Structure 1
Amino acid sequence: MSNAIARKLDSIQTKSAMRSVDVANLLGARPETVSRWNQGKAFPRPDAQKNLLALEYIVDELSDIYEPKEARLWLFSRQKLLGGNSPADLIQEGKADAVIDVIERLKAGVFV
């Protein structure tokens, strides 16, 4: 039986083709730590959990626009609409709302 964090990690990895190491790096954790979260042996710190939940939401929204490999590429690429920052960097800095705003604009077809 999987725990809630494990289900979220699975959803992120399935919808964005991200590897555990990608998730770990983005959340400022070690891959071994993410593995323990996945096994239910540990739980994320509050800041990591907040970013994990934001990442899951973002990946879910991206799945409406992109295939998993494309979503991963978008997350780690610099984006003009984010001032040249990558979405992954902004999520890591706790600025997921800026990423969510851009995704909403992309989904609505508004780019300016």
Structure 2
Amino acid sequence: MDIDQILIKSLVQNGGLTDEDIAAIAGVPIAALAGWKSGHAKPPRHALILADLGHVTEHLAAYYTPDEIRHWLHAPHPQLDGTRPVDLIRHGRSIAVSAVIDRLDGDVFI
């Protein structure tokens, strides 16, 4: 298994995301994700989005279950001006999402 396959497997198992979620966040057809999962294709420019998504879900796993993580990522967030975290990650703005999660480390309820 290569690093991309491991990351996708982790997003499903630990992040509670479906294949459809991952494909939508990366902005690719589900068939492209299937190729990445099988190792027959590489996620060229989408690798950064997957890495950011992996980082965010890994950080959230310290506080939430996989189902809660999926909900957190897809729900509009008040500390992100009502934007869904997945939309920010998709557009390369995962730093804003990470900043909200970092507040959990300071015992701030979100």
Counterpart for residue 79 of structure 2:
81
1-structure distance, mates of 2:18, 2:70? 10
2-structure distance, mates of 1:109, 1:99? 16
The code of the aligned residue for 2:95 comes to D
Q: RMSD between aligned alpha carbons?
A: 1.3
Instruction: Structure 2 unaligned segments of length 5 or more: list them.
Output: none
The code of the aligned residue for 1:100 comes to S
Where has structure 1 moved over 4 Å in runs of 4 or more? none
Percent identity reads 29
2-structure distance, mates of 1:33, 1:18? 16
Counterpart for residue 41 of structure 2:
42
Between the two proteins, the alignment pairs up a number of residues equal to 110
Contact 1:65/1:107 (8 A) holds in 2: no
Counterpart for residue 100 of structure 1:
98
Counterpart for residue 67 of structure 1:
65
Q: If the length of structure 2 is used for normalisation, what is the TM-score? A: 0.95
Per-residue CA deviations over 1:33-64 (Å, capped at 9, x if unaligned) read 01100111111122x11110000000000000
Counterpart for residue 29 of structure 1:
28
The code of the aligned residue for 1:76 comes to H
1-structure distance, mates of 2:83, 2:13? 24
Per-residue deviation at 1:17?
1.2
